[in-house]
């Protein structure tokens, strides 16, 4: 199961209602943190995740509200004598901001109008594309391999596949039996989407790049800094989106669930109702991120 936990969903200035950006995505030993705003260590403690368990940190862009918690997090790992590799991915020149430590594997990203693969393995993939902000911002797509359709033991037996290889086929891997390559499609009744897909835009105005990387996502976590009480053109010049912008991108991309995040400090404790009232009539499968909100995504 893929679990998304919102550690913070605010913008620029922390409030008692919303911490600064941080989203934890977990799946089978992977603990991926997307953005690391101020206070992210405390939020991780609240959900019971040690910094030593983090496997990847993805930084969308180098504005302070998305980045200020990273150095303290790394310092804690160093104090705890971390030795396992931590992969940090972010826009250039993120490497210049980070200490030179043996457990850090830093991947710098440059502007790209095409979706590109950063990490690809049999278990999961991380893709990115450049979004629309007032400095380089990466929108990320996380793809977690899932069983492709309903496994049919009869088909596996007819093909002579040993029982100990069935799980690999069920999880979407091909296996070799003698001189023959058996694919998952050979032993399932219905082949569906092979991935659980989670997309995070970082800070962005709406646009084609965001829609492209979000196609058919199970969850799209989209910048929704403002309601429609702001001039939309001014919002876009700042490199942000309104609630309606996020809904429009979600509809065009054909996503299953839209999660609104990065809510401006201007909105007080009634923000949840106001943003839900904006989004749900236009896109019923919408939610507004709250500190500690969890989304469980089970393979279907």
The per-residue pLDDT for range 277-287, each reduced to its tens digit, is 999 999 999 99
pLDDT above 70 for 73: yes
In this predicted model, what pLDDT tens digit does every residue of 255-264 receive, in sequence order? 999 999 999 9
* Residues in a beta bridge with 260: 222, 288
- How high is the pLDDT of residue 300? 67
Give me the pLDDT at residue 274, please. 97
The more confidently predicted of residues 147 and 229 is 229
CA proximity to 37, closest of 75, 73, 74, 67: 67
Select which of 35, 65, 218, 249 is catalytic.
Answer: 65
In a domain, 292, yes or no: yes
218: annotated active-site residue = no
- Is the N-terminal amide bond of 93 cis, ω within 30° of 0? yes
pLDDT mean over 8-16: 92
Helices 243-253 & 271-279, crossing angle to 10 degrees? 40
Q: What average pLDDT does range 53-65 have in this prediction?
A: 98
Structure confidence at residue 148 (pLDDT) = 62
Task: For residue 92, tell me if it sits in a domain.
Answer: yes
Condensed to tens digits (0 to 9), the pLDDT of residues 179-220 reads 899 988 888 876 567 799 999 999 999 999 999 999 999 999
pLDDT at 149 over 80: no
Residue 191 pLDDT? 56
Question: Has residue 80 been placed in a domain?
Answer: yes
Report pLDDT for 185. Answer: 80
Q: How many domains does the chain have?
A: 1
Q: What is the pLDDT of residue 147?
A: 66
The residue with greater pLDDT, 15 or 51, is 51
Find the CATH number of the domain harbouring 88: 3.60.15.10
- The residue among 276 and 194 whose pLDDT is bigger is 276
Six token digits for residue 122: 């049999």
178 found inside a domain: no
Taking only Cα atoms into account, the Rg of the chain, rounded to an integer number of angstroms, comes to 20
Query: Per the domain annotation, does 82 fall within a domain?
Result: yes
Tell which wins on pLDDT, 169 or 60. 60
Closest C-alpha to 300, from 201, 159, 191, 179 = 191
- For residues 109 and 91, is the Cβ–Cβ distance under 8 A? yes
- Classify residue 166: in a domain, yes or no: no
Tell me the residue range of the domain where 284 lies: 2-146+193-297
| DSSP assignment of the chain | -EEEEEEE-B-SS--SS-PSSEEEEEETTEEEEE---TTHHHHHHHTT--GGG--EEE-----HHHHTTHHHHHHHHHHTT--S-EEEEEETTGGGGS---TTEEEEEE---SS-EEEEE-SSEEEEEEE--SSS--EEEEEEEE---S-B-HHHHHHTT--GGGHHHHHTT--EEETTEEEPGGGSBS----SEEEEEE--S----HHHHHHHTT-SEEEEE--B-TTS-HHHHHHTT--BHHHHHHHHHHHT-SEEEEE-B-TTS-TTHHHHHHHHHTTT-SSEEE--TT-EEEE---
Domain assignment present for 170: no
Pairing of strands 195-200, 219-223: parallel
167 lies in some domain: no
């Amino acid at each position: 199961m893929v679990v998304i936990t919102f550690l913070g969903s605010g913008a620029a200035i922390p409030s008692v209602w919303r911490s600064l950006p941080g989203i934890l995505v977990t799946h089978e030993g992977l603990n991926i943190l997307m953005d690391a705003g101020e206070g992210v260590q405390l939020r991780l403690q609240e959900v019971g995740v040690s910094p030593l368990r983090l496997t990847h940190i993805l930084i969308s862009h180098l504005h302070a509200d998305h980045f200020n918690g990273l150095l303290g997090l790394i310092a804690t790992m160093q104090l705890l004598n971390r030795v396992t590799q931590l992969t940090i991915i972010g826009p250039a020149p993120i490497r210049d901001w980070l200490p030179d430590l043996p457990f850090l594997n830093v991947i710098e990203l440059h502007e790209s109008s095409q979706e590109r693969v950063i990490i690809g393995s049999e278990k999961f993939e991380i893709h990115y594309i450049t979004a629309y902000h007032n400095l380089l911002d990466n929108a990320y797509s996380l793809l977690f391999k899932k069983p492709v359709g309903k496994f049919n033991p009869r088909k596996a037996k007819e093909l002579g596949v040993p029982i100990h290889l069935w799980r690999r086929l069920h999880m979407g891997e091909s296996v070799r039996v003698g001189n023959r390559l058996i694919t998952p499609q050979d032993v399932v009744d219905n082949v569906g989407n092979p991935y659980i897909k989670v997309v995070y835009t970082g800070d962005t105005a709406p646009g084609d790049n965001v829609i492209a990387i979000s196609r058919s996502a199970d969850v799209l976590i989209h910048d929704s800094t403002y309601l429609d009480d702001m001039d939309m053109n001014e919002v876009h010049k700042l490199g942000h989106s309104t609630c309606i912008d996020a809904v429009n991108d979600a509809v065009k991309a054909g996503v299953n669930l839209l999660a609104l995040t990065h809510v401006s400090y201007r909105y007080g404790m009634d923000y949840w109702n106001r943003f839900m009232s904006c989004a749900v009539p236009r896109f019923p499968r919408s939610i507004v991120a709250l500190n500690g909100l969890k989304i469980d995504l089970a393979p279907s």
